[in-house]
């Protein structure tokens, strides 16, 4: 039996068949037929954002917190160009996103029609795959393929461009199981020979470390579980990238904290001094490696990644294992157990003794302030007062993001949504809305900087409309703090355009949106203010006035090695050399 | 360096290629890439090369299997061994790419390109051009009293060599197709 229907109806039908429950979008001329279909059904909920960039970041938040693909619906031209930042963001952080964009009718393509844009051309380099659908008969199959590509292998964003005449015309619906998807099938099982080599190294390593990344989260909750089992069973220390926080619990025995540019002293030293580095679903990003030729000079490196192009891209790997983290870890455990669960006990004991010495440096210590609020303290109190709650955290980009990563503890995967690879200011607020839509009863907090937050603050309207009680916890230093920090370190304290001038009154702004505003400017009142935020049944904008010139430490200045770290009160002038200065 | 005794040498699973990654030696490789014959495919492949700063020495593309909806892209590229490996991995993971073959390492292959040369001249130079064309097995496909168009198929090196010889004899224009290549044997 074949089903005939209009293209617009096919879009909705295909989304239903894909199990989509929520679409984030914004209408316009070129998608009106689809909006008409969305209107006439109740299975799929449409969330009307205030700006298309908000739609895609909300979809990212939804996807990261659920493990399901996020879906975005936008119109042609400006609607499509407004999602480009989010598409790149999702590509960098491997987030499954399906963007459906309207396009001018096929017979007008190429004529510079009203709101025409070369959407597939613009998004070709930043999607995993994109399609311009010129025939209604191909539409349903293409949408099914789009979901398959977005969610298979290393996840990522895809886009389907749908001309308006294709939406109006009638064609044959392609049922989901009939859609051709077979040729894109990245392998998930790792090579047993390579896995055995890794196990051999695990058995003898004296100074091992697990270096985990977003791939563990993307692989699904089972992968995090297996990582925990492997870490407990071997007793090897675990560190993680920004993207991987929560895969191994912050309260776990083996936890070293985050690594990298603003990672902990113990994590970075362990990476530098280890003799076996086991990279699980991370990609040797430059925030992690620091200076390449000084990166972990004496270690054998194993790398588990589903994307073959990640392996040997920047760092030479001794044991490459291409496959899905969950599948590979399962096999690693199986083989390691079957060979008698061997580890080098004496070596490991010495290693932990060394690690304890590094931990004793207490690199995240900070002094309380009598006059204002230390941003670190604000996050530490937020952590203390929300511990054990059903909590999801999103962030914007800047110092506050790093402090959130350092001072919040994540016990589970999918609880931490942040823009890592692209570093997109304006990500956090819409992402928090997306997370809250997926988890209506959970506590969702966006740890924000005042400057980033302003970039997509219109999305408070969306939060209000859909009664998403998101808490906007703004560390307001009245500075583009991270930029200012770099200018202090690198540009002789010439603070060029890094002041947040003419800021709005955030409490009044909250009132204008119809939500609650709270301001706090001293450490004595902080706990009560946070409690007030948590108790409020609705969105809150929390204006936390913090120390304006606080720097984020530890810091590995660009171009330096892991063991060349700045701690809190170091002399910061001239720490970045000429060759480091050109790096970002 | 491979203390782990991992096999050296390249294979289709490019990540297992463990040749010295720090080698700065620039190698030239010919890659045969089987892709879906869809609009935008060429832009996708070229976009990958430009976005990641890889070299394209030559690139040809044409449909080779109409029923199967496949095109073959033959790309000659150069880079360090690590870059070549990266290029292959980056190509292999593209959704529209079915297969990537590195003809340079997978065994002997034949490489050919077609070139047209317009040579202008009279008298001695004209006779010399014709004589050299004969040696290179280039055909005359157009002639006037003061010009020839030669057609030649051969390896890129042979085409280069012929162009060099024609230059002082009045070479005014060259058109080349770029390399098409196949592995030898069946
Ligand atoms: C869209 C965008 N533009 C510019 C930047 C560069 N940038 C990185 S951090 C930062 C300052 C952020 O200020 P704020 O949000 O107040 O956070 P703070 O560092 O003060 O905590 C800027 C401008 C960016 N990451 N994203
Ligand atoms: Mg700020």
For B5-18, the DSSP string reads -PPPS--SSGGG--
Ligand 1 touching residue A480 (CB < 6 A): yes
Three-state secondary-structure class, residue A545: strand
Q: Mean pLDDT, to the nearest integer, of A353-378?
A: 94
Whether a cis peptide bond, with omega within 30° of 0, leads into A554 is yes
Same domain, A541 and A481: yes
Chain centre to alpha carbon of residue A458: 21
Ligand 1 touching residue A483 (CB < 6 A): yes
Quick one: pLDDT at residue A313?
94
B50 secondary structure, DSSP code: H
Quick one: pLDDT at residue A371?
87
* Cβ atoms of residues A500 and A450 within 8 Å: yes
- pLDDT above 90 covers what percent of chain A? 92
Same domain, A155 and A222: no
User: Comparing C-alpha atoms, which of A387, A414, A391 is closest to residue A469?
Assistant: A391
C-alpha to C-alpha distance for A32 and A521, rounded to whole angstroms: 48
Q: Mean pLDDT, to the nearest integer, of A367-394?
A: 95
Check if A115 is active-site: yes
Check if A458 is active-site: no
A563 secondary structure, DSSP code: T
Buried b (16+ CB within 10 A) or exposed e, B29-63: bbbbbbbbbeebbeebbeebbeeeebeeebbbbee
CATH of residue A249's domain is 3.40.50.1220
HEC string of B26-39 equals CEEEEEEEEEECCC
C-alpha to C-alpha distance for A455 and B59, rounded to whole angstroms: 43
CATH of residue A136's domain is 3.40.50.970
Quick one: pLDDT at residue A182?
82
Residue A370 belongs to a domain: no
Residue A230 belongs to a domain: yes
Same domain, A333 and A457: no
Quick one: pLDDT at residue A545?
98
Query: At residue A514, does pLDDT exceed 50?
Result: yes
Q: Mean pLDDT, to the nearest integer, of A5-33?
A: 98
Chain A positions in Cβ-Cβ contact with residue B98 (cut-off 8 Å): 183
Ligand 1 touching residue A399 (CB < 6 A): yes
User: Comparing C-alpha atoms, which of B145, B141, B170 is closest to residue B153?
Assistant: B141
pTM of the model as a whole = 0.94
| Chain A interface mutation, best of B1, B13, B15, highest count of A Cβ atoms under 10 Å | B15
Same domain, A48 and A150: yes
B186 pLDDT band, cuts 50/70/90, is confident
Same domain, A205 and A172: no
Query: At residue B12, does pLDDT exceed 80?
Result: no
Out of A120, A183, A300, the one facing B40 most closely (by C-beta) is A120
Q: Which domain holds residue A88?
A: 3-178
Query: At residue B77, does pLDDT exceed 70?
Result: yes
* Cβ atoms of residues A261 and A237 within 8 Å: no
Query: At residue B50, does pLDDT exceed 60?
Result: yes
CA distances from A231 to A255, A351, B71 (A): 9, 15, 47
How many domains does chain A contain in total? 3
- B89 touches A at CB < 8 Å: yes
* Cβ atoms of residues B29 and B41 within 8 Å: no
Three-state secondary-structure class, residue A288: helix
Same domain, A152 and A205: no
Structure tokens at A363: 């690199």
The structure tokens 């080779």 sit at B64
Q: Mean pLDDT, to the nearest integer, of A148-172?
A: 98
Ligand 1 touching residue A404 (CB < 6 A): no
Q: What is the pLDDT of residues A178-233, one digit of tens each?
A: 999 888 999 999 999 999 999 999 999 999 999 999 999 999 999 999 999 999 99
Lowest mean pLDDT among A98-102, A132-136, A375-379, B6-10: B6-10
For A27-87, the DSSP string reads --GGGHHHHHHHHT-SSSEEEE-SSHHHHHHHHHHHHHHHSSPEEEEE-STHHHHTTHHHH
Query: At residue A86, does pLDDT exceed 90?
Result: yes
- Strand pairing category for B97-102 and B27-36: antiparallel
Same domain, A348 and A380: no
- Sign for the pseudo-dihedral over CA of A40, A45, A49, A51: negative
Residue A554 belongs to a domain: no
Surface-to-core class of residue A48, CB atoms within 10 Å of its CB (0-12 exposed, 13-18 middle, 19+ buried):
middle
Q: What is the pLDDT of residues A234-278, one digit of tens each?
A: 999 999 999 999 999 999 999 999 999 999 999 999 999 999 999
Residue finishing a domain among A153, A178, A203? A178
Q: What is the pLDDT of residues A96-149, one digit of tens each?
A: 999 999 999 999 999 999 999 999 999 999 999 999 999 999 999 999 999 999
Q: What is the pLDDT of residues A458-491, one digit of tens each?
A: 999 999 999 999 999 999 999 999 999 999 988 9
- B15 touches A at CB < 8 Å: yes
Same domain, A66 and A111: yes
Residue A271 belongs to a domain: yes
Same domain, A260 and A201: yes
The structure tokens 């912050």 sit at A250
Check if A114 is active-site: yes
B9 pLDDT band, cuts 50/70/90, is very low
CA distances from B34 to A107, A283, B50 (A): 31, 28, 20
Quick one: pLDDT at residue B13?
36
Ligand 1 touching residue A190 (CB < 6 A): no
Out of A132, A149, A320, the one facing B16 most closely (by C-beta) is A320
List alpha helices for B93-170, DSSP H.
123-135, 156-166
Q: What is the pLDDT of residues A266-313, one digit of tens each?
A: 999 999 999 999 999 999 999 999 888 999 999 999 999 999 999 999
User: Comparing C-alpha atoms, which of A325, A300, A323, A340 is closest to residue A197?
Assistant: A300
**Annotated active-site residue in A52, A330, A396, A450:** A52
Out of A124, A300, A308, the one facing B93 most closely (by C-beta) is A308
Q: How many residue pairs bridge chain A and chain B with CB atoms within 8 Å of each other?
A: 59
**Annotated active-site residue in A4, A41, A107, A114:** A114
CB atoms within 10 A of CB B13: 16
CA distances from B44 to A63, A128, A130, A138, B36 (A): 26, 11, 10, 21, 11
Residue window 27-86, chain B: list those with CB within 8 Å of chain A: 39-40, 43-44, 47, 51, 82, 85-86
Quick one: pLDDT at residue A219?
98
Same domain, A382 and A467: yes
Q: Where in A349-479 does DSSP place strands (E)? A: 391-395, 416-417, 443-449, 471-476
C-alpha to C-alpha distance for A421 and A287, rounded to whole angstroms: 9
Check if A482 is active-site: yes
Closest ligand 1 atom to A422 CA: 25
Same domain, A305 and A201: yes
Residue A566 belongs to a domain: no
Same domain, A18 and A129: yes
Quick one: pLDDT at residue B20?
54
Neighbours of ion ligand 2 (CB under 5 A): A 449-451, 477, 479, 481
Residue A559 belongs to a domain: no
The structure tokens 């199959």 sit at A141
Structure tokens at A580: 């480091």
How confident is the prediction for chain B on average, in pLDDT? 89
User: Comparing C-alpha atoms, which of A189, A351, A179, A359 is closest to residue A265?
Assistant: A359
Radius of gyration of chain B, Cα coordinates, nearest whole angstrom: 20
A571 pLDDT band, cuts 50/70/90, is low
Residue finishing a domain among A128, A143, A178? A178
Q: Which residues contact A216 (CB under 8 A, 6 or more apart)?
A: A223, A224, A227, A244, A247, A280, A281, A325, A413
Question: What are chain B's domains?
Answer: 7-13+21-102 (3.30.70.260), 109-183 (3.30.70.1150)
Chain A positions in Cβ-Cβ contact with residue B85 (cut-off 8 Å): 312
Residue finishing a domain among A337, A360, A383? A360
C-alpha to C-alpha distance for A54 and A50, rounded to whole angstroms: 7
A554 secondary structure, DSSP code: S
Query: At residue B6, does pLDDT exceed 50?
Result: no
- A199 touches B at CB < 8 Å: no
How confident is the prediction for chain A on average, in pLDDT? 96
Ligand 1 touching residue A378 (CB < 6 A): no
Q: What is the pLDDT of residues A421-470, one digit of tens each?
A: 999 999 999 999 999 999 999 999 999 999 999 999 999 999 999 999 99
């Amino acid at each position: 039996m074949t089903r005939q229907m209009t293209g617009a109806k096919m879009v909705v039908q295909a989304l239903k068949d894909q199990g989509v429950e929520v679409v984030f979008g914004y209408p316009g001329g070129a998608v009106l037929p689809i909006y008409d279909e969305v209107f006439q059904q109740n299975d799929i909920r449409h969330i009307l954002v205030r700006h298309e960039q908000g739609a895609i970041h909300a979809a990212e938040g939804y996807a990261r917190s659920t493990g399901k693909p996020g879906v975005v619906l936008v119109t042609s031209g400006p609607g499509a160009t407004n999602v480009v930042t989010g598409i790149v963001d999702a590509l960098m952080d491997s987030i499954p996103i399906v963007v459906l964009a309207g396009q001018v009718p096929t017979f007008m393509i190429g004529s510079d029609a009203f709101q025409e844009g070369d959407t597939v051309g613009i998004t070709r380099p930043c999607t995993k795959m994109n399609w311009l659908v010129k025939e209604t008969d191909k539409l349903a199959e293409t949408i099914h393929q789009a979901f398959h590509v977005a969610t298979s292998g290393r996840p990522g964003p895809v886009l389907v461009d749908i001309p308006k005449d294709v939406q109006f015309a009638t064609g044959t619906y392609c049922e989901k199981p009939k859609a051709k998807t077979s040729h894109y099938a990245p392998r998930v099982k790792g090579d047993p020979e390579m896995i055995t080599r890794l196990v051999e190294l695990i058995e003898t390593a004296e100074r091992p470390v697990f270096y985990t990344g977003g791939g563990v989260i993307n692989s699904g909750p089972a992968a995090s579980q297996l990582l925990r089992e492997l870490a407990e069973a071997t007793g090897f220390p675990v560190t993680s990238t920004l993207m991987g926080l929560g895969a191994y619990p912050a309260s776990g025995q083996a936890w070293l904290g985050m690594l990298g540019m603003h990672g902990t002293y113990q994590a970075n030293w362990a990476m530098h001094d280890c003799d076996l580095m086991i990279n699980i679903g991370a990609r040797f990003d430059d925030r992690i490696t620091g200076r390449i030729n000084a990166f972990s000079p004496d270690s054998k490196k194993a790398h588990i990644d589903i994307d073959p192009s990640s392996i040997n891209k920047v760092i030479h790997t001794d044991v490459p294992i291409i496959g899905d983290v969950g599948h590979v870890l399962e096999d690693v455990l199986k083989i390691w157990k079957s060979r008698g669960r061997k580890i080098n006990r004496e070596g490991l004991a010495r290693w932990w003794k060394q690690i304890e010495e590094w931990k004793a440096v207490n690199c995240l210590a900070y002094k309380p302030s009598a006059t204002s609020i230390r941003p670190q303290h604000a996050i530490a109190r937020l952590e203390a007062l929300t511990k054990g709650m059903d909590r999801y955290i999103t962030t914007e980009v800047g110092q506050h993001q790093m402090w959130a990563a350092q001072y919040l503890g994540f016990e589970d995967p999918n609880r931490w949504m942040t823009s890592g690879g692209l570093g997109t200011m304006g990500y956090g607020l819409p992402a928090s809305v997306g997370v809250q839509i997926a988890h209506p009863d959970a506590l969702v907090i966006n740890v924000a900087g005042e400057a980033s937050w302003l970039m997509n603050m219109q999305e408070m309207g969306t939060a209000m409309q859909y009664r998403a009680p998101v808490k906007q916890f703004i560390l307001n230093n009245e500075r583009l703090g991270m930029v200012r920090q770099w200018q202090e370190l690198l540009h002789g304290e010439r603070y060029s355009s890094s002041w947040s001038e003419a800021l709005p009154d955030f409490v009044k702004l909250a009132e204008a949106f119809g939500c609650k505003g709270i301001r706090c400017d001293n450490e004595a009142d902080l706990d009560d203010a946070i409690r007030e935020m948590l108790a409020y049944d609705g969105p809150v904008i929390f204006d936390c006035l913090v120390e304006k010139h606080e720097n984020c430490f530890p810091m590995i200045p660009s171009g330096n090695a892991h063991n060349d770290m700045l701690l809190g009160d170091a002399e910061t002038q001239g720490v970045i050399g000429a060759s480091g200065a050109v790096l970002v | 360096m491979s203390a782990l005794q991992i096999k050296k040498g390249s294979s289709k699973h490019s990540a297992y290629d463990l040749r010295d990654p720090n080698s700065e030696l620039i190698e030239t490789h010919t890659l045969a890439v089987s892709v879906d014959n869809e609009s935008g495919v060429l832009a996708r492949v070229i976009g990958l090369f430009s976005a990641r700063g890889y070299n394209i020495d030559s690139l040809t593309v044409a449909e080779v299997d109409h029923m199967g909806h496949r095109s073959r892209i033959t790309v000659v590229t150069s880079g360090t061994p690590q870059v070549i490996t990266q290029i292959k991995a980056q190509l292999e993971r593209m959704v529209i790419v079915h297969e990537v073959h590195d003809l340079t390492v997978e065994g002997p292959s034949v490489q050919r390109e077609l070139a047209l040369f317009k040579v202008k001249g009279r008298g001695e130079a004209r006779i010399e051009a014709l004589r050299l064309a004969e040696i290179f097995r280039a055909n005359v496909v157009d002639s006037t009293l003061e010009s020839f168009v030669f057609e030649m198929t051969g390896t890129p090196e042979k085409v280069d060599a012929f162009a060099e010889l024609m230059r002082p004899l009045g070479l005014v224009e060259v058109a080349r197709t770029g390399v098409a290549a196949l592995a030898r044997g069946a």
